[in-house]
Amino acid sequence: MYSLEHKKYLKKIRRNSILVHLTQILIIALFIFIWQFAANNEWINTFIYSSPKSILETIIDLYKDGSLFHHIWVTFYEVIISFILGTVIGIVVASILWRFKFLARVLDPYLTILNSLPKVSLGPVIIIIAGAGVKSIILMALFISVIVTIINVHQAFISTDSNKIKLLESFRASKCQIFFKLIIPSNFQNIISTFKVNLGLVFIGVIMGEFLVSKAGVGYLIMYGSQVFNLNLVMTGIIILAVMASLMYYLIVFIEKRCEK
Amino acid sequence: MLKDKVILKIRDIRKIYHTKEKEILAVDNFSFDLKQGEFVAIVGPSGCGKSTILSILCGLEDASSGTINKVDNLKFGYMLQSDNLFEWRTIYKNCILGLEIQNLKDKEHIKYVNSLIKTYGLLEFKDAYPSNLSGGMRQRVSLIRTLATKPDVLLLDEPFSALDQETRLAVSDDVYRIIKKENKSAIMVTHDIGEAVSMADRVIVLSDRPSEVKNIYEIKIKNRKNPIENRKTKEFSDYYDLIWKDIGYHV
Ligand SMILES: Nc1ncnc2c1ncn2[C@@H]1O[C@H](COP(=O)(O)OP(=O)(O)OP(=O)(O)O)[C@@H](O)[C@H]1O
Ligand SMILES: [Mg+2]
């Protein structure tokens, strides 16, 4: 049984986190309320800023003509494919660079340059190579996410405590054993945070790609909306993106929690 | 195996560390022989190159020059100066790390590990994680991890430094017993002269960096028993004073 102090302590922690959640909900509710209020009283130009109500109506319309989930699905599909590809390629390349130091040193300046290059500039080239379709979008997202992944994961790998490597070497461990017994598990946290960063980057890449070439997807909705001056559609697209991003973020957090057990 | 058989012959080891800024001569002219079943202690001032010597013996670092001859299939067990426990592994999993790597996870070894865990009072913490352990407990885990693979030669780098005096005496008694019982050899680095004299057959005193052998003391104690008992003999205090004066460092 816990002591009285400990129970008080637990209670305090619980109360604090409830308070944080309540405040968070309050903020979003207040935001929506003020937005709608401002729109109703014509403090803001609803043609440009839209309003929660018209966004909701737009979503319902999209749902009714069946295109809502189609667009969401297309974007989701592109994001997931690019995310998986980007993460896997990034981690594999980083592992190869960890294993072959010479290669890592040779490639270092090229990675740095590629990393700072604004990847949108590759857009036209990608479209010419991969055609105006889903392939281009995924390629775009890959370009944006993979370089950062390589650099971050490799950096984490080579910062692994050298004394722990020494310990494994004293047991005559092979490079492969060192990799799987030490490098991967000790960088688990780093890899998860790379997932999070990656997801964000892949989203940017996919939406950018959809702006450039798509026939469907949330990015397409936004682009189309802006072309026909339907700002309700644009805002709706942004809101859908925000919801998608947070859902996927929590999915990763969930996976992280599961893996830690 | 025979007693008194030389299993490790070290001649004129020299080690230079190179960094961009400078080179450091860490070990110079270091020679000695290790016999089967022998317990050797190395004492010397901080930074003189003791850990370096152990790393070279274990094959983790190459000597800049000099030779090391050893009998075939000599297996080293190196207990590093820092415990290097893997935070994501439980205590038990940490203890069997070496077994996993060397593919020795059989019944006999596991049983041995379990008995060590019990002897060193860690049974209760078997499934805990290292962050929940005190420094002394962590050091004991590191010791078990080293003993688990049953090496022929133990290289112990200040193995008891984080233990309180009482545990320290008890654990050093235990380690001594294991080594003697199984006719293993050990090279132990320590700052504690008493520990060196009470446990070792020979004590090597090193000079300041670059470490050279300053003196080697054969510890001859009549009615030699376990370390705790040895401490009570007259010879113990004689050797203690001798080495104390010899080192001349003030800790
Ligand atoms: N990897 C390295 N690169 C450069 N210099 C090193 C390296 N390792 C050790 N040294 C230097 O070599 C010298 C001897 O180091 P070592 O760790 O062997 O000393 P030590 O006798 O074990 O000291 P302590 O008693 O404090 O553990 C030190 O001056 C240290 O700075
Ligand atoms: Mg040392």
Domain ranges across chain A: 1-44, 50-260
Q: What is the pLDDT of residues B197-230, one digit of tens each?
A: 888 889 999 888 777 788 888 888 777 778 888 8
The pLDDT score that the predictor gives to residue B251 is 46
Q: What is the pLDDT of residues A163-172, one digit of tens each?
A: 999 999 999 9
Distance between Cα B206 and ligand 1 center (Å) = 14
B6-74+152-246, superfamily in CATH?
Answer: P-loop containing nucleotide triphosphate hydrolases (3.40.50.300)
User: For residue A107, is pLDDT > 90?
Assistant: yes
The pLDDT score that the predictor gives to residue B242 is 84
Kindly state the average pLDDT of the residues B168-191.
86
A50-260, superfamily in CATH?
Answer: MetI-like (1.10.3720.10)
* Structure tokens, B167: 């545990």
- Which of the 8 DSSP states describes residue B124? G
Q: How confident is the model at residue A261 (pLDDT cuts 50, 70, 90)?
A: low
Contacts of residue A171 in chain B, CB cutoff 8 Å?
97-98, 101-102, 149
Residue with CA nearest ligand 1 atom 5: B17
Among the listed residues B211, B202, B197, the one whose alpha carbon sits nearest the alpha carbon of residue B52: B211
Q: How far apart are CA B187 and CA B205, in angstroms?
A: 13
Contacts of residue B98 in chain A, CB cutoff 8 Å?
171
Q: Look at A186 and B86 and tell me if their CB atoms are within 8 Å.
A: yes
Q: How confident is the model at residue A4 (pLDDT cuts 50, 70, 90)?
A: confident
User: For residue B149, is pLDDT > 80?
Assistant: yes
| Domain chopping of chain B, boundaries | 6-74+152-246, 85-151
pTM over 0.80: yes
Give percent of chain B with pLDDT exceeding 70.
Answer: 98
Alpha carbon distances (Å) from B180 to A122, A167, B174, B196? 70, 25, 10, 16
